[in-house]
A and B are shown apart, each in its own frame.
Chain A
Amino acid sequence: MEIHKYEKWWLVFGGGTLLVFLIVLGVSAFHGGTHPNNSKWTINYEKVDEIAPFDNPGVHKVEGKDWDYEVVLVAQAFAYTPMEIEIPVGSKVRFIATTKDVIHGLGIAGTNINLMLEPGYVSEKITTVDEVGEYTIVCNEYCGTGHALMYSTLKVVDPNDNSN
């Protein structure tokens, strides 16, 4: 089979672009550590309230770890616990979340924190919160009638700013 000269150029150009693109993604993920949620931590979803750290949802300052804060979130139809999270700007944070019933989503609008929460699994993401502001946490996976009413708020605050 004969392939036209221009088509060869076109495929080399297109294929080459994809290859470069894949290399950028791969290096960024496997070298830079920018993986999406890959947690393999499993849990009995019917006993979430009794199992640490979900027995105590909220923001916890931690010592001696690679991150400064742990944010523990529990999702259930149709609410997150807690309803509000406050973290000082510049902190490194580990988000830990799970669901007590059906699948929920955890999307923090305006960021790349986006986790599926599935019954029996804990989802995780480590990130640095580097911009002051109020971010809406929305359930972005359909979970039932009250789906669009399910949200929480992440406040990234500047501890040195006393204007409020």
Chain B
Amino acid sequence: MTTATKETTQSTITTSVKEKIEKVDRRDAKLALAHIYVAFIALFLGGIAGLLQVLVRSGSFDLPSFINYYQVLTVHGVLLGLVLTTFFIMGFQAAGVSRSCGTFTDKQRAIGWAGFWVSTVGLVAAAAMILTNEASVLYTFYAPLQAHWIYYLGLALVIVGSWLSSLAQVMRFNQWRKEHKGQTTPLLGFMVVVNNFLWFVATLGVAVEVLVQLIPWSLGLVERVDVLLSRTLFWYFGHALVYFWLLPAYMIWYVVIPKVIGGKIFSDALAKLSFMLFLILSVPVGLHHQFTEPGIDPLWKFIQTILTMFVVVPSLMTAFSLFATFELRGRELGGKGIFGWFKKLPWNDSRFLLPFIAMVAFIPGGATGIVNASYQLNELVHNTIWVTGHFHLTVATGVALTYIGAAFWLIPHLNGRKLTKRANSMANCVGILWAIGMAIMSGAMHVAGLLGAPRRSAYSTYGGSEQATEWISYQVAQAIGGSILFIAILIITALIIYVSFFAPKGEEEFPIGEVAAGSAPTPAILENFKVWGVIMIAVIIFAYTIPIFDIINNSPLGSVGYKLW
């Protein structure tokens, strides 16, 4: 009798300890969910904007007279490029830190909520300006097109809010480190901190642009703005931005997927090394967006080309680690021969299939990215719709489909529901539709871009030019692909609503992989943020000081603002 009671108590304790470790605290879950809901509202609305764009460009559809094409394009870029990404990332990372390092303190959680509300207020302010046609300047807001100052302020608040959210996560990680001196840090928590560090340093560029240049200028406090400087500050931020999007997808690939397929993380040290390489190389590469611009020295453009190629290396490492994990697991399950292991992977599991499709898309996406960043090769594709095709493979598939696949298990984990078998099958359909729609749309964009078709342009026959006629057939293909993607977005929205409010109550796992038994311990240097931070700043100072000094020194008369929409 006594023994039996003892055993029960024992098992209760084990369960409760297990729950504590493996389940995100309910209060943290609410914080994460708030972010994720905003992200998916953005996906739905941004998806509608995307559909309108491809339809307009096909030439068979006109927007009602009260909306202009570039307003729709601004909505699409802001909602999907800034809101979906930033909000999903902050939600996922909050959950990830809570899951891997432990629940937030009340103070940390309060900072997280402050971040959420500051970002949300900023988002609403920016949205109001876009909807009233005061800010049809796209999400890159290049001066001297001048939006209403509230638009710039709103976007700045979205970023300031994300700093607060990041701060809460970093504080929780530091607390873990203090409580576990000398131990290897949890991989997911570590990765979150790297991404937040990267985000903070990168957003300083755009913060200076917006706060020092654009807001005073749009308020009329100063008359003129240095256009080239503002663009250079924007792109100092703008390319690191894409790594900020990418790293959470890598977190899911490195940490979650090994557990989903029943395997192990190939190596904790290699994963951390690749993240630290991203940290030091993500920012000093922004000039590769400015190759065809005047006023910047060719030597510095080329130096940043070289740095851009370096940043390919951690992605090569990631590809190796992931496929090694897949192969090891496939062989463990009895896969024979060179490719036999491939068939053994859990293709019916949406938690695997969606990020897998995302990874596959990232291969051609990375390759076309290398083309874009290749100095003089960029002349062939710069500002053509090839570039749009490129980032719909990288961010809109490699990144977004990974996030979407994660949301389907993360939301039920956070609100105590289950991803049912049926919902899982629907999720798999989403993955397949996304792959088909994106292959058509992005493929047509790549080809049309090589033929010279510009990006960010409404439907036009360019005076009946023969070349433009050729582009239009590809624009019809883009509309077909885009429509398939929109159907996928409708299913995603339905599924998100289902797993949020209607799925049966239960427990859905937040899968976190364990490191393979044979892998070597992680050297302490890889976790030393001071060392890597100093290297990061040094490389940035090296890559940007002289170009920015030159730009300021040789700057022509600044520009007054224009509202040409």
User: Which chain A residues have a beta carbon within 8 Å of chain B's beta carbons?
Assistant: 1-4, 6-7, 10-11, 14-15, 18, 21-22, 25-26, 28-30, 34-46, 77-78, 101-103, 105, 107-116, 118-124, 134-136, 138-149, 151, 153
Taking CB atoms, residues of chain B closer than 8 Å to A110 are 451-452, 467
Neighbour of B520 across the interface among A2, A45, A147, CB < 8 A: A2
Q: Are the C-beta atoms of B454 and A138 separated by less than 8 Å?
A: yes
Taking CB atoms, residues of chain B closer than 8 Å to A112 are 376, 379-380
Q: Are the C-beta atoms of A22 and B306 separated by less than 8 Å?
A: yes
Q: Are the C-beta atoms of A1 and B294 separated by less than 8 Å?
A: no
Interface residues of B in 486-532 (CB under 8 A from A): 519-520, 522-523, 526
Q: Are the C-beta atoms of A42 and B463 separated by less than 8 Å?
A: no
CA–CA, A87 and B373, complex, Å: 31
Q: Are the C-beta atoms of B376 and A25 separated by less than 8 Å?
A: yes
Interface residues of B in 542-565 (CB under 8 A from A): 554-559, 562, 564-565
Name which residue of chain B comes closest to A137, CB basis.
B462
In the complex, whether B61 has a CB less than 8 A from a CB of chain A is: no
CA–CA, A20 and B69, complex, Å: 43
CA–CA, A37 and B290, complex, Å: 10
Q: Are the C-beta atoms of B305 and A115 separated by less than 8 Å?
A: no
CA–CA, A85 and B413, complex, Å: 63
Q: Are the C-beta atoms of B374 and A25 separated by less than 8 Å?
A: yes
**Nearest-CB distance from A133 to chain B (Å)?**
9
How many residue pairs at the A-B interface have CB separations less than 8 Å?
Answer: 227
Known: A114-B380, A151-B462. A39 touches B294 (CB 8 A): yes
**Nearest-CB distance from A50 to chain B (Å)?**
14
Name which residue of chain A comes closest to B380, CB basis.
A112
Taking CB atoms, residues of chain B closer than 8 Å to A6 are 320, 324
Taking CB atoms, residues of chain A closer than 8 Å to B370 are 18, 21
Q: Are the C-beta atoms of B383 and A43 separated by less than 8 Å?
A: no
Q: Are the C-beta atoms of B459 and A148 separated by less than 8 Å?
A: yes
Taking CB atoms, residues of chain A closer than 8 Å to B251 are none
CA–CA, A99 and B295, complex, Å: 14
In the complex, whether B474 has a CB less than 8 A from a CB of chain A is: no
Q: Are the C-beta atoms of A36 and B383 separated by less than 8 Å?
A: no
Known: A37-B293, A144-B562. A7 touches B452 (CB 8 A): no
Taking CB atoms, residues of chain A closer than 8 Å to B264 are none
Can you identify 14 A-B contacts, CB atoms within 8 angstroms?
A: A1-B269, A18-B309, A21-B309, A22-B305, A28-B376, A38-B294, A42-B555, A44-B556, A102-B145, A110-B467, A116-B290, A118-B294, A120-B559, A153-B463
Q: Are the C-beta atoms of B295 and A35 separated by less than 8 Å?
A: no
The 10 lowest CB-CB distance pairs between A and B, nearest first, are: A109-B452, A144-B564, A120-B556, A148-B460, A140-B454, A140-B383, A42-B556, A121-B294, A136-B465, A14-B316
**Nearest-CB distance from B160 to chain A (Å)?**
27
Name which residue of chain B comes closest to A1, CB basis.
B269
User: Which chain B residues have a beta carbon within 8 Å of chain A's beta carbons?
Assistant: 68, 70, 73, 138, 142, 144-145, 227-228, 231, 267, 269-270, 273, 290-298, 301-302, 305-306, 309, 312-313, 316-317, 320-321, 324, 370, 374-380, 382-384, 451-460, 462-463, 465-468, 519-520, 522-523, 526, 554-559, 562, 564-565
Q: Are the C-beta atoms of A36 and B145 separated by less than 8 Å?
A: no
Name which residue of chain B comes closest to A41, CB basis.
B294
**Nearest-CB distance from A81 to chain B (Å)?**
15
Name which residue of chain B comes closest to A11, CB basis.
B316
Neighbour of B309 across the interface among A22, A37, A108, A138, CB < 8 A: A22
Name which residue of chain A comes closest to B564, CB basis.
A144
Known contacts A21-B370, A101-B562; 19 further A-B pairs (Cβ under 8 A):
A1-B267, A1-B526, A3-B270, A7-B321, A21-B374, A22-B309, A25-B376, A36-B376, A43-B556, A77-B562, A102-B559, A105-B383, A105-B454, A115-B292, A121-B295, A123-B294, A124-B294, A138-B452, A142-B145
Taking CB atoms, residues of chain B closer than 8 Å to A135 are 467
Q: Are the C-beta atoms of B375 and A45 separated by less than 8 Å?
A: no
Taking CB atoms, residues of chain B closer than 8 Å to A151 are 460, 462-463, 465
Name which residue of chain A comes closest to B466, CB basis.
A134
**Nearest-CB distance from A39 to chain B (Å)?**
4
Name which residue of chain B comes closest to A144, CB basis.
B564
Q: Are the C-beta atoms of A38 and B297 separated by less than 8 Å?
A: yes
Q: Are the C-beta atoms of B562 and A102 separated by less than 8 Å?
A: yes
Q: Are the C-beta atoms of B555 and A120 separated by less than 8 Å?
A: yes
Known: A37-B293, A120-B227, A123-B294. A139 touches B454 (CB 8 A): yes
Q: Are the C-beta atoms of B324 and A4 separated by less than 8 Å?
A: yes
Among A4, A37, A101, residue most surrounded by chain B Cβ atoms (within 10 Å): A37
CA–CA, A111 and B269, complex, Å: 46
Among B294, B465, B466, B519, residue most surrounded by chain A Cβ atoms (within 10 Å): B294
Neighbour of A18 across the interface among B292, B312, B453, B456, CB < 8 A: B312
Q: Are the C-beta atoms of A118 and B228 separated by less than 8 Å?
A: yes
Neighbour of B467 across the interface among A2, A103, A136, A143, CB < 8 A: A136
Known: A38-B301, A110-B451, A151-B465. A142 touches B228 (CB 8 A): no
CA–CA, A36 and B375, complex, Å: 7
Known: A36-B376, A114-B379. A122 touches B451 (CB 8 A): no
Q: Are the C-beta atoms of B292 and A1 separated by less than 8 Å?
A: no
Taking CB atoms, residues of chain B closer than 8 Å to A134 are 465-467
Q: Are the C-beta atoms of A109 and B467 separated by less than 8 Å?
A: yes
Q: Are the C-beta atoms of A147 and B383 separated by less than 8 Å?
A: no
CA–CA, A18 and B374, complex, Å: 11
CA–CA, A39 and B554, complex, Å: 12
Q: Are the C-beta atoms of A10 and B316 separated by less than 8 Å?
A: yes
Q: Are the C-beta atoms of B562 and A36 separated by less than 8 Å?
A: no
Q: Are the C-beta atoms of A25 and B375 separated by less than 8 Å?
A: yes
Taking CB atoms, residues of chain A closer than 8 Å to B227 are 103, 118-120
Taking CB atoms, residues of chain A closer than 8 Å to B313 are 11, 14-15, 18
Neighbour of B383 across the interface among A1, A34, A107, A121, CB < 8 A: A107
Neighbour of B384 across the interface among A38, A107, A145, CB < 8 A: A107
**Nearest-CB distance from B284 to chain A (Å)?**
16
Q: Are the C-beta atoms of A46 and B557 separated by less than 8 Å?
A: yes
CA–CA, A10 and B317, complex, Å: 8
**Nearest-CB distance from A87 to chain B (Å)?**
17
Name which residue of chain B comes closest to A103, CB basis.
B142
Known: A102-B564, A144-B564. A35 touches B298 (CB 8 A): yes
Neighbour of B317 across the interface among A7, A43, A146, A148, CB < 8 A: A7
Name which residue of chain B comes closest to A143, CB basis.
B564
Known: A14-B313, A136-B465, A141-B383. A45 touches B145 (CB 8 A): no
Q: Are the C-beta atoms of B144 and A102 separated by less than 8 Å?
A: yes
Q: Are the C-beta atoms of A120 and B557 separated by less than 8 Å?
A: yes
Q: Are the C-beta atoms of B305 and A25 separated by less than 8 Å?
A: yes
